[in-house]
Amino acid sequence: MACKCGGYCYTLNGRASFDRNSVKTRKFFVQNFPAARMFANGSFFFPTKWRSVAGNHRILSMDAQEKSRSTTLESSKNKRVPIFVMMPVDTFGFDASGRPRIRKIKAITVSLKALKLAGVRGIGVEVWWGIVERFSPFDYNWSLYEKLFKLISESGLKLQVALSFHSNIYSSTGNGGVSLPLWILEIGDLNKDIYYRDRHGVSNNDYLTLGVDQVPLLSGRTALQCYEDFMHSFVNKFESFIGSVIEEISIGLGPSGELRYPAHPFGDGRWKFPGIGEFQCYDKYMMEDLKMAACQEGKPQWGYRGPQNAGCYNSLPTGVPFFEEGQESFLSDYGCFFLEWYSGRLIYHADAILARAAKILKKYQENEQTSFMLVAKIGGIYWWYKTVSHPAELTAGYYNTALRDGYDPVISVLSRHGAALHIPCLEMMDSETPPTYLCSPEGLLKQIQFVSKKQIINLVGRNTTERLDRTGLQKIHSNCFDPRAEIVRSFTYFRMNDHIFRVENWNNFVPFVRMMSADL
């Protein structure tokens, strides 16, 4: 059988693992050999190559022998997993004049003392582009973070910093939402194509489209230059903290800080779980890139639009032609071309930003006297994972199917820049997800752990849903210390709120923290 996957070809016991004529395959199910099981022991899938179509931004193949800048993993020696707790989603508010401020500072102070006594290692803090460079370009105001970092360090706690180039308007409550910088929003009012768009032309201002990474539309700067300037300013301001108080810096790569497209926008009513989502490539800058990529492929007719048979945000995969078998499916020549371009542009976006971050932070990464990690986050798109096409992952930008490992090229980029991978879903269990939606957070986690171990990169973890019951916390512990994978270097609990400090939850959380921090 000729493989048309375009990037990877996998075999199972000497035979192709996908049979076009199989009735079971047509019905989407891979129950006999789900991808989770195939990746669990690393014995079923054998990638042959990876190439990405990215217009005039082609990414060179990631050879398995390529020398990584990652330091040798020490997690096998480190039998403890320090716990960090992310600050509340509404930490920052705005006064009547629109100036940002720290909310509930007294309550935060008390909470920090309690967490320190419980054995928590440190606090995770989002450093918002929309707060620091809020009013005008190059006008960086770090005063709030100077105050907050001082408060945290004086409490005896370390810091994880997430440089956040996205908005949390839709994920926040009350007056705690932080938009993109106001001067960016003014540009967006005149040119909505600086944001991602869906095929209906609907955009949101959560994050700049990667289509403007190299287009100087932002007061004379490209998006990449804006991110780089912000990182330089942060390091200049907090140099004395990095490697001592600040132990991790996560670089925002997309919505919620994760490397992905906003294919599942939960805040504006377009999408709800378990919809497959929609491709987000219809801003004019990405469409220009698609046209160029199609011409380079010798198929200019492929460059005028994305798949037109891929359903809508809340479609289920059954009955959606692009995610089934057929001449116009994800397995077609066009389908493979589009998905390679779509995922490749996302990977190039990560490569470009992390290259700049690694250069700026190089001396801290290479300093053996300090404890410091550069970190990048990916999303946990676990619904429809037990299908052949993995449609929700495809729309999010992960070209991951039952036939192709979509996380290997992502992790290759992190490895080249010495970045650790921040993985989600550590509290989730397949048995607790709706079976109708073919979810597998455990399978997704195992796949990512397997690839990460092969690429020799550090892992840090987080929960996706709030769990303070013993079962959920025990699941986190078992995943962090999984003997088949590298022990994660740290775990971040999302988030600090009133629930943690309730007696019944606190009585579970404190033993969990101490169990994670104790020698095995």
Higher local confidence (pLDDT), 12 or 66: 66
State the pLDDT at residue 172. 55
Mean pLDDT of 116-137: 98
Please report, for residues 96, 286, 363, 364, 365, the alpha-carbon distance to residue 368 in angstroms, rounded to integers and kept in the order given.
47, 41, 10, 8, 8
Cβ atoms of residues 509 and 473 within 8 Å: yes
Higher local confidence (pLDDT), 1 or 150: 150
Q: Give the helix, strand, coil percentages of the chain, each rounded to 5.
A: 35, 15, 50
Residue-wise pLDDT tens digits, 395-431: 999 999 999 999 999 999 999 999 999 999 999 999 9
Residue-wise pLDDT tens digits, 136-176: 999 999 999 999 999 999 999 999 999 999 999 876 555 55
CATH code that applies to domain 83-272+344-517: 3.20.20.80
State the pLDDT at residue 176. 57
**Extents of the domains making up the chain:** 83-272+344-517
Neighbour-count burial of 67, counting CB atoms closer than 10 A to its CB (0-12 exposed, 13-18 middle, 19+ buried): exposed
Cβ atoms of residues 276 and 384 within 8 Å: yes
Indicate whether 496 pLDDT > 70: yes
State the pLDDT at residue 266. 85
Angle at Cα 364 formed by Cα 360 and Cα 368, nearest 5°?
Answer: 155
Q: Which of the residue ranges 42-56, 155-169, 225-239, 345-359 would you say has the lowest mean pLDDT? A: 42-56
DSSP-derived secondary structure for 218-248: BTTB-HHHHHHHHHHHHHHHHTTTBTTTEEE
Confidence of residue 212 (pLDDT cuts 50, 70, 90): very high
Which residue type, as a one-letter code, is found at position 268? Answer: D
State the pLDDT at residue 37. 36
Q: How far apart are CA 254 and CA 337, in angstroms?
A: 23
State the pLDDT at residue 249. 98
Q: Which of the residue ranges 49-58, 440-449, 470-479, 488-497 would you say has the lowest mean pLDDT? A: 49-58
Indicate whether 14 pLDDT > 60: no
State the pLDDT at residue 51. 38
Q: Would you say the pTM of this structure is higher than 0.85?
A: yes
The set of residues, in sequence order, having a beta carbon less than 8 Å from that of 235 and lying 6+ positions away, is: 242, 360, 361
The set of residues, in sequence order, having a beta carbon less than 8 Å from that of 217 and lying 6+ positions away, is: 187, 191, 194
Q: Which of the residue ranges 4-18, 132-146, 277-291, 409-423 would you say has the lowest mean pLDDT? A: 4-18
Cβ atoms of residues 1 and 9 within 8 Å: no
Q: How many C-beta atoms lie closer than 10 Å to residue 105's C-beta?
A: 12
Tell me what the pLDDT averaged over the chain comes to.
87
Highest mean pLDDT pick, 54-58, 62-66, 91-95, 351-355? 351-355
Residue-wise pLDDT tens digits, 307-343: 999 999 999 999 999 999 888 999 999 999 999 999 9
Residue-wise pLDDT tens digits, 20-45: 333 333 334 443 333 333 333 333 33
Indicate whether 77 pLDDT > 60: no
Q: Could you give the percent of the chain with pLDDT greater than 90?
A: 78
Q: How far apart are CA 301 and CA 106, in angstroms?
A: 61
Q: Could you give the percent of the chain with pLDDT greater than 70?
A: 83
Confidence of residue 50 (pLDDT cuts 50, 70, 90): very low
